[in-house]
Structure 1
Amino acid sequence: MQFPEWLRSLRFSGGDSKSEMDNLKTLLPSLPSSFSLSSLSLSPSSIIGLGALASLTTYWLVTRPRPIQPPCDLQAQSISVQGDQSCRRSALLKDDNLLEFYYEDAKTVYDMFQRGLRIAGNGPCLGFRKPGEPYQWISYTEVAERAQVLGSGLLAKGCKPNPQQYVGIFAQNRPEWVITEMACYTFSMALVPLYDTLGLEAMVHILNLAEISMVICDKEDKAESLLKIKEKGVTTTLSCLVLFNPFSAALLERGRKCGVEILQWSCWIFNLCLYWLQPPKPQDLAVVCFTSGTTGTDHVTFDCILTEFKTNSSLLQVSMFCHGARVGFYQGDISLLMDDIKTLKPTFFPVVPRLLNRIYDKILGSVTSPLRRVILHYAVRRKQAELSSGVVRNNSLWDRLIFNKIQASLGGNLRFILTASAPISPTVLSFLRATLGCLIFEGYGQTECTAGCTFSMPGDWSAGHVGAPLPCAMVKLTDIPDMNYYAKNGEGEICIRGHSVFRGYLKDEERTGEALDADGWLHTGDVGQWLPNGTLRIVDRKKHIFKLSQGEYIAPEKIENVYTRCVPVLQVFVHGDSLQSYLIGVVVPDPEVFVNWAKERGVVGSYEELCQNPDVKKAVLEDMTAVAKEAGLKSFEQVKDLYLHPEMFSVSNGLLTPTLKSKRVDLRRVFSEQIAQMYSKSSI
């Protein structure tokens, strides 16, 4: 069963009348064969009672919830490839040939939007709102027209209509972002998204590597940061900025002095001549993605990912456009996000686990009475019992009595939620599936495989895994002897191959060769485990770079190098959990300076005593925070709590390698108790 067919199956029919009668018979007690109505003498009240019972039974049979029919056997959601149990593909496929295109008329992102345009026509496409106002909508027709006008403007400013032309965009998510994206695709140009967390040094590297001359920005402050780079003379290609928002005359003059033309979006595109459309081919480049975590141009640790049109870029948005759906954007202020959601009343809601964790915490935090808490947990258990039988609904007695306000806070129309970018706690996932009364799917992937490679199967509402391989990819596990993971045991490094895997890193053959092996397998650095039902569980991380629950990348070694600049710090181990939104650290103070350093702050004691002193710990954390800010670390890159350890990490105690590098797996194991204690505190 294909996914659209499964969606249609959600509109349940009345069912087979014969089976309904069989069900009715099971509700009634066995009657003797000689039974006849004439043998009964019933009072009028008894007849009325039987009639009421029959009516209630009929109503229950007609309205009782039906379980969702899964598209495959949930006990065999993936199938081994050529008998290799470590390599698996989707059970939705008929054979080992992977899905390349779902629709024959939609083989590029441009094609996908055009398909949505044919479906929706002048229907709503992109939504935005001003504070306190309802959403306003830009139609599919308007988006297509504006994209052609903007793309024509890019060509008029010297951009070439080919995939080797890189156009930068430095803006928050908003309708103009999508219009810019579609403008590039309309004329076969490649898009290069930029964002604040990259930092100026990484921005310079990106501008030079991709030889970007044109960048489209939303606000004046972003344009100023780019002009600052230009004024330093470290990038020579940047020559034009286009701003969504109005800007000052001072910015215009500053740009003129350093040779950068600055244009106002609304004024510039007003009188442009239209160029003939030059849409891309399926093999053409679509987007170059840089992920955060750079330590500078000497040791670049961010990823520059090339993705073809046939795998699409803004995956979820484009999937919506392909079917003529509409997409609403928040106002740009995260504090108003919940108000935007209530106003938009979304049907489909992609979300990072951190937000789901906040919803979970808010629900539990609002229930202060012990009696109400007991009722809440009982209602959740009843809904979870329905989930275990495949029933997902938001109209049960418990929804009407307990969960309706929770569902209304998210608009009241939710049917699908997709969570990805970081793992989510099974407890939170099961709880929200019950309380929100909608389908919640979990996915796994990387930017290098165009976001997703596994996805939870419709009908499987168990937690603790990230689903089975998507039809466009194969997933296999390979041995990691150093970490004692072996593919023969169903464990190992997750490797991905298929049409969704990226082409390589921009102008970096060496790193491309490290990520993609000779057979085309992408090595993710994540450690997975195959479960008996064919789904994948993420159990560990091979690479040091990891994500926090909000999806931010963390390069711990870079952060540790900053913290060792602190006077009292000799060694530090920075740890993050993908289920948590902040970092914690284990710090070994420098024995030669620590006692005097503490004494200068009015605290006297031995080295061991000072390590246990909460005031000293607070002072060390403040010092580390100051150094981190001075070094330019983002807030999410700074530890929020720490443990002072009085014994040095060394080769002899197994916490350092012979080359004096931290053995992160062993450090995590040794300090597991302290880590758990720090994360058991209330959220920071």
Structure 2
Amino acid sequence: MPPAFQPPYAVPVPGAVKKDGESVPYRHFKFADKLVDHPENVFTCWDMYLHGNKLAGDDRPFMGTRRIENGVAKEYVWQSHGDVRKRIENYGKGLIQLGLGRQKAVGVYSVNRPEWTITELASYRQAFIIVALYDTLGAEAMEYIVNQTDMEYIVLSADKLDNIVKLKAQLGSIKTVIVMNETVDAEKKQAAESTGLKVYTFKEVEELGASVKEETELPKPEDIATICYTSGTTGVPKGVVLTQAASVAAISGISAVGDKGTFALITPDDIYISYLPLAHVFERAAQGIHIFKGAGLGYYQGDTAKLLDDIAELKPTVFCSVPRLFNRIYDKVLAGVKAKGGISAYLFHTAFSAKKAQLEKTVHHWLWDRLVFATIRQKLGGRLRFILSGSAPVSPDVMDFMRICFSAKVYEGYGQTENFCAGCLTIQDDNTSGVVGVPFPCSEVKLVDVPEMDYLSTDKPYPRGEICIRGNAVMREYYKSPEKTAETIDQDGWLHTGDIGMFDAANRVVIIDRLKNIFKLSQGEYIAPEKIEGVYQKHELVAQAYVYGDSMQASLVGVIVPDKGAFKAWTEEKFSSVSNPYEDEAVKKELLKELTAYGKQNDLKGFEQIRAIYLTAEEFSVENDLLTPTFKLKRETAKKVFQSQIETMYATLSNGRAFN
């Protein structure tokens, strides 16, 4: 059947006047007159939880984890909504008994598990401020975050306790640690206590709160719900301050489009797989809408290598992920088809082509879904109703592949930590790939000219410019950083995203470029190329480096200008006879090996390391237009100059011939 809605899917804000240098602001076509702020009688994150609890009822399964027997994962075991509510209330009161006060920071340091969410919900109830910690922050950033927020309490899984003990001297404010596991190793507990830390188990805190009968003050919409620190950028991390009202606006926006039929309608019958890091806002928003709708949450084991096994056992109806995993599924399925060959491959390609031809109308086919795609659907449990991709752009080919092979609706979302990920969302049954949809009901979007990159709101056929978002989910500020806040949010309340976008013929947003040099890889990790280049350029063999990443790719590639003298001596020592070391594959492989080791020594994370290199003897200079007069790399020019080499490097990586 044809889509229920016809374009345009976004409309100009009523009464808005176009200003020079920018487009008119647009809103979702179903919410043109007023931006969504909250559902009826729901004002705080705690209200949202109570709404879902009431919808589900006390007996319905809420949080599930896999039972482990002799090290082997078995079936999912569930806690009911009623039981979890008691735990939330007891745990929150227990934290108060330990001394945690309203609008004070509580750190959470763990992979996704029920205790993470219970801590989150208890914090919403008692107006604590959730501050997530995670390994890829690194020691310096963790120290900065703990000290900036005056954090005294950390809730963590037992495997993270050693990390905190090692850093205790730098984490001066930390006084109390709550371990999520039922027991704590006696030696580890003693080591922690020897540094002055008080150590409790999660269960002990719940028991402490169970004895408290009096009720505490309810949270307020203006209370800070969370401070989310961005990672992977140069300098110190920035703390994004999100209020309970902002969280409510974002999640009620998802609910509102479901109610209007332009997005999936989530119900208490849905089961959601929780595996994307709760440290990031995307997963908290995704999990939050399921909590609001009374759905069940099944947690993965904490190991992404076992994720597909967890999904097969859980059989979720909803799956939110990032392009990296979708790309893995895509590659794995197509490799399997190729390996089988013969009639199986012929049937797959015939079925795929038949469904793709009808994709604008439907994701289902009466014959091919049963004959060809049923087995593939089982890889994600066989019950998926819809899939949501976020965090970074997903390739149109992969989007179509997921729709065809899993016979599920696939949506793409766009947003940032700074607006609780409530930027744009694709429209139900609009299977156009390569777009990120239209503004959330709680947001409005405009494009602002970027003349230095030749992106203008007057461009034909479609306006282009920096995407700016304003609405009820936008952050209050960067924590204790008014200068950074003013750089990002202008006087009229517009959040400047740094992404370059375009409004297409249906007024959908298309991401086409990045204004700032910081960008994301396909798995959603932020990359600051200057920092990485700075590390490699310290190596004796490197004179200059240009690091490039594509948001459709999972890894970085690099253009290296070797130091001529050092490089000549090194190649003569390592390789007896090489006619042209700049093009020799063995030379490149060995140099990349050295750079990777050097990067590791200098604290580059795995995703910050380049995976393929191109060597050139020509230095970057002002004369060849690769450097500015102040000797800064002109990234846009470099991208154009080395485009063919970049494409070759990514082709090399995809063919498995990476130099690592």
- Paired residue for 1:618? 589
- Paired residue for 1:473? 443
1:204 is displaced (CA, Å) by: 0.4
- Give the length in aligned residue pairs: 603
- Paired residue for 1:485? 455
- Paired residue for 2:479? 506
- Paired residue for 1:282? 221
Letter in 1 for 2:355: K
Contact 1:612/1:644 (8 A) holds in 2: yes
- Paired residue for 2:561? 588
Where does structure 1 differ by over 6 angstroms across 4 or more consecutive aligned residues? Answer: none
SS of the residue 1:212 aligns to: coil
Contact 1:515/1:522 (8 A) holds in 2: yes
Letter in 1 for 2:569: N
- Paired residue for 1:259? 196
1:68 is displaced (CA, Å) by: 4.7
- Paired residue for 1:141? 82
1:159-213 per-position Cα deviation (integer Å, ceiling 9, x unaligned)? 11x22x1110001011110000011111111100000000000000000100000
Contact 2:500/2:513 (8 A) holds in 1: yes
> Kindly, what percent of the aligned residue pairs are identical?
40
- Paired residue for 2:375? 405
1:632 is displaced (CA, Å) by: 1.6
- Paired residue for 1:127? 64
1:642 is displaced (CA, Å) by: 0.7
1:383 is displaced (CA, Å) by: 1.4
- Paired residue for 1:16? none
Are 2:503 and 1:567 aligned?
no
1:111 is displaced (CA, Å) by: 0.7
Aligned partner (choices 265, 285, 289) of residue 315 of structure 1:
285
SS of the residue 2:225 aligns to: strand
Map 1:417-456 → 2, pairs under 5 A: 417-456=387-426
1:250-277 per-position Cα deviation (integer Å, ceiling 9, x unaligned)? 2222222221111122234324432514
Contact 1:89/1:96 (8 A) holds in 2: no
Q: CA RMSD in A?
A: 1.7
- Paired residue for 1:74? 7
Distance 1:346 1:415 in 2: 9
1:80 is displaced (CA, Å) by: 5.3
Distance 1:583 1:662 in 2: 17
Contact 2:52/2:292 (8 A) holds in 1: yes
- Paired residue for 2:275? none
1:335 is displaced (CA, Å) by: 1.2
Contact 1:148/1:277 (8 A) holds in 2: no
1:241 is displaced (CA, Å) by: 0.6
1:112 is displaced (CA, Å) by: 0.7
1:598 is displaced (CA, Å) by: 1.2
Contact 1:341/1:410 (8 A) holds in 2: yes
Q: 1:119 to 1:459 in 2, by over 3 A?
A: same
SS of the residue 1:346 aligns to: coil
Aligned partner (choices 482, 494, 499) of residue 467 of structure 2:
494
1:403 is displaced (CA, Å) by: 0.4
Letter in 2 for 1:115: H
Contact 1:78/1:469 (8 A) holds in 2: no
Are 2:395 and 1:458 aligned?
no
Contact 2:391/2:524 (8 A) holds in 1: yes
Contact 2:533/2:547 (8 A) holds in 1: yes
1:94 is displaced (CA, Å) by: 5.0
Which runs of 5 or more structure 1 residues have no equivalent in the other structure? 1-65
1:280 is displaced (CA, Å) by: 1.2
1:370 is displaced (CA, Å) by: 5.4
How high is the TM-score relative to the length of structure 1? 0.86
Distance 2:73 2:154 in 1: 32
| Structure with bigger gyration radius | 1
Moved more, 595-604 or 203-212: 595-604
- Paired residue for 2:518? 545
Map 1:220-231 → 2, pairs under 5 A: 220=159, 222-231=160-169
Letter in 1 for 2:537: T
Letter in 1 for 2:137: L
1:154 is displaced (CA, Å) by: 1.2
SS of the residue 2:349 aligns to: helix
Are 2:313 and 1:343 aligned?
yes
Aligned partner (choices 384, 401, 407) of residue 414 of structure 1:
384
Map 1:126-275 → 2, pairs under 5 A: 126-130=63-67, 131-160=72-101, 162-163=102-103, 165-220=104-159, 222-231=160-169, 234-245=170-181, 246-272=183-209, 273-274=211-212, 275=214
- Paired residue for 2:264? none
Letter in 2 for 1:150: Y
Contact 2:91/2:119 (8 A) holds in 1: yes
Contact 2:94/2:208 (8 A) holds in 1: no
SS of the residue 2:474 aligns to: coil
1:522-572 per-position Cα deviation (integer Å, ceiling 9, x unaligned)? 011110011011101100001111111111111111111111122211111
1:598-656 per-position Cα deviation (integer Å, ceiling 9, x unaligned)? 112134557xx111111111111011011111112111111111111111011111111
Are 2:499 and 1:526 aligned?
yes
Which runs of 5 or more structure 2 residues have no equivalent in the other structure? 248-280
Q: 1:336 to 1:567 in 2, by over 3 A?
A: same
Distance 1:172 1:132 in 2: 17
Q: 1:78 to 1:349 in 2, by over 3 A?
A: farther
Distance 1:91 1:333 in 2: 38
Distance 1:556 1:124 in 2: 45
1:385 is displaced (CA, Å) by: 2.7
Letter in 1 for 2:165: L
1:381 is displaced (CA, Å) by: 2.2
SS of the residue 1:388 aligns to: coil
Letter in 2 for 1:568: L
Are 2:330 and 1:360 aligned?
yes
Distance 1:380 1:551 in 2: 29
1:294 is displaced (CA, Å) by: 4.8
Contact 1:185/1:279 (8 A) holds in 2: no
Distance 2:28 2:146 in 1: 43
Distance 1:412 1:172 in 2: 26
Distance 1:286 1:667 in 2: 42
SS of the residue 2:530 aligns to: helix
Q: 1:219 to 1:603 in 2, by over 3 A?
A: farther
Distance 1:218 1:94 in 2: 42
- Paired residue for 1:45? none
Q: 1:256 to 1:76 in 2, by over 3 A?
A: closer
Map 1:296-335 → 2, pairs under 5 A: 299-300=235-236, 302-312=237-247, 314-335=284-305
How high is the TM-score relative to the length of structure 2? 0.89
Distance 1:622 1:256 in 2: 42
Are 2:592 and 1:651 aligned?
no
Distance 2:78 2:632 in 1: 54
- Paired residue for 2:356? 384
- Paired residue for 1:576? 549
